[in-house]
Amino acid sequence: MTFEQLVIFVATAERQHLTKAAQALRLTPSAVSASIKALETFYQVKLFDRVGRGIQLTREGRVFLREAKETLARAKAAESVLAELGNLKTGILDVQASQTIANYWLPSRLLGFARDYPGIEINLTIGNTATVAAAVVNGDAELGFIEGVLDEPALATTTIASDKLVVVAASDFSAARNVDDLSRLKWIMRERGSGTRGVLEQALLDLSINPEKLDVSLVLPSNEALLSAVRSGGCVTALSETIVSPFVENGQLQILEFDLPPRRFTLLRHKERHRTAPAREFEAFCRAHMQ
């Protein structure tokens, strides 16, 4: 078994498609198919079933996928360790962040780091609090950035910035006047697992409002979708003040006068996993540019 065969197998398994795997690896579909076939023939194990016009992992394939990904992760770690010997002249930084941080706080820090270390390859993946935390726990990301707090024993957390969550509505919305109105409004919410929703729900609980009893008209997976929907009128949502400020200034949105507590931006790292030099340096960079 070769390293290339492992790479091809994992790429195919993750996409469940030979052609898409070939495109991602810049190989021909026939080369991908031949590599998979060689593995199956040599070890007398069927890794994929053809179902309709697609392919699916067999039970044996699913078991092998876990081992293959772990092997590639170990190889990647070995590569990063060697890159450290070059004094950060080369290397890889894998970062995951929830949407508000990834779109508004993190880009300037990544750009500044890239200027200081042009040889470091930076990979940023955007998710929500739950998926970012899982990525750091599993080793898919060395550093994670989330909104709010997290109780995960495997992770070390550091507050790196603060943000204010505000309740907003379309500019022609009849503004609510007291806390009790919050439970009577129609809401557009982020999905469960997002930092924005988690912080909002905790703030409502602190105001003695049960989040489960809110009238939620729609759940959407991104801040941009929330902005678009709430501008249509009739509903309210909660978003970062940084995100909504341009729309308040141009008159499309208004901030309702409910004082929600500030939320923290939190950096996550695994307590026990080795951190590469790029990860250590970027964490220090973020600490030095906290605001």
pLDDT range class, residue 291, cuts 50, 70, 90? low
HSE, CB side, 13 Å, CA atoms: give it for residue 2: 6
- Quote the CA–CA distance of 10 and 61 in Å, as a whole number: 10
Average pLDDT over residues 30-43: 93
Pick left, alpha or beta for residue 49 (phi over 0 → left; psi -120 to 50 → alpha; otherwise beta): beta
User: Residue holding tokens 């008159």?
Assistant: 251
- Quote the CA–CA distance of 77 and 20 in Å, as a whole number: 26
- Quote the CA–CA distance of 217 and 49 in Å, as a whole number: 41
The string of DSSP codes covering 85-143 is: TTTTSSEEEEEEEEHHIIIIIHHHHHHHHHHH-TTEEEEEEEE-HHHHHHHHHHTS-SE
> Mean pLDDT in the chain?
90
Give the pLDDT of residue 177.
67
| SS3 call for 271 | coil
Task: List b or e across 202-231, with b for residues whose CB sees 16 or more CB atoms inside 10 angstroms.
Answer: bbbeeeebebeebeeeeebeebeebbebbe
Q: Which two tokens stand for residue 118?
A: 């042009």
pLDDT range class, residue 176, cuts 50, 70, 90? low
pLDDT range class, residue 230, cuts 50, 70, 90? very high
Average pLDDT over residues 218-223: 92
List, in order, residues 6 or more apart from 14 with CB less than 8 Å away.
21
Instruction: Name all domains of the chain by residue range, CATH numbers in brackets.
Output: 3-84 (1.10.10.10), 91-291 (3.40.190.290)
Between residues 97 and 178, which one has the greater pLDDT? 97
Give the pLDDT of residue 35.
93
The string of DSSP codes covering 136-202 is: HHHTS-SEEEEES----TTEEEEEEEEEEEEEEEETTS----SGGGGGGSEEEEEPTT-HHHHHHHH
pLDDT range class, residue 274, cuts 50, 70, 90? confident
Give the pLDDT of residue 181.
80
Residue 196 has pLDDT above 80, yes or no: yes
pLDDT tens, residue by residue, 118-170: 989 999 999 998 999 999 999 999 999 998 778 899 999 999 988 888 999 99
Give the pLDDT of residue 78.
83
Give the pLDDT of residue 89.
81
